[in-house]
């Protein structure tokens, strides 16, 4: 299975996670698309940019679109580290994890500032 990740390249924490995934993506199962790149809407007119900006999205090689922690778990699973996020998909924990993720996604720039001292990246570059 292949997965394309649509992520916010201006979010320092999002960018950091993508850099870790790039490092482990030795089999090439993941592709990375920064929704903040100029021309994104022209390349992906079938996707709702506002929805993508509200939470992480992924598209499988079969065309299925998934969101939130389902994307995160699948991405880490495809690089051989699914156990990191597996508990977030377990019954009961899943409900709480999804609620927490929604709060994180909504406030990611503020949380990034608290944790990194940087609210947004001026020009973060994902190192492939």
* pLDDT per position as a tens digit, 14-65: 999 999 999 999 999 999 999 999 999 999 999 999 999 999 999 999 999 9
Strands 57-60 and 30-34: unpaired
Residue with tokens 């090439």, as numbered in its chain = 28
Distance, CA of 74 to CA of 95 (rounded, Å): 17
What pLDDT score does 115 carry? 87
pTM: 0.90
What pLDDT score does 120 carry? 79
Pull the structure tokens for residue 99: 């609620």
Which stretches within the chain are classed as H helix?
A: 12-24, 40-43, 49-54, 68-78, 93-106, 108-116
Of residues 76 and 112, more confidently modeled? 76
């Amino acid at each position: 299975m292949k997965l394309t990740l649509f992520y916010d390249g201006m979010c320092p924490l999002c960018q950091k996670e993508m850099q870790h995934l790039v490092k482990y993506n030795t089999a090439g199962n993941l592709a990375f698309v920064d929704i903040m790149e100029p021309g994104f809407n022209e390349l992906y007119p079938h996707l709702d940019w506002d929805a993508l900006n509200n939470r992480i999205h992924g598209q499988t090689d079969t065309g299925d679109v998934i969101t939130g922690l389902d994307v995160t778990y699948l991405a880490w699973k495809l690089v051989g580290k699914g156990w990191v996020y597996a508990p977030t998909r377990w019954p009961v924990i899943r409900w709480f994890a999804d609620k927490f993720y929604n709060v994180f996604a909504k406030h990611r720039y503020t949380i990034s500032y608290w944790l990194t001292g940087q609210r947004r990246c001026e020009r973060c570059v994902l190192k492939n």
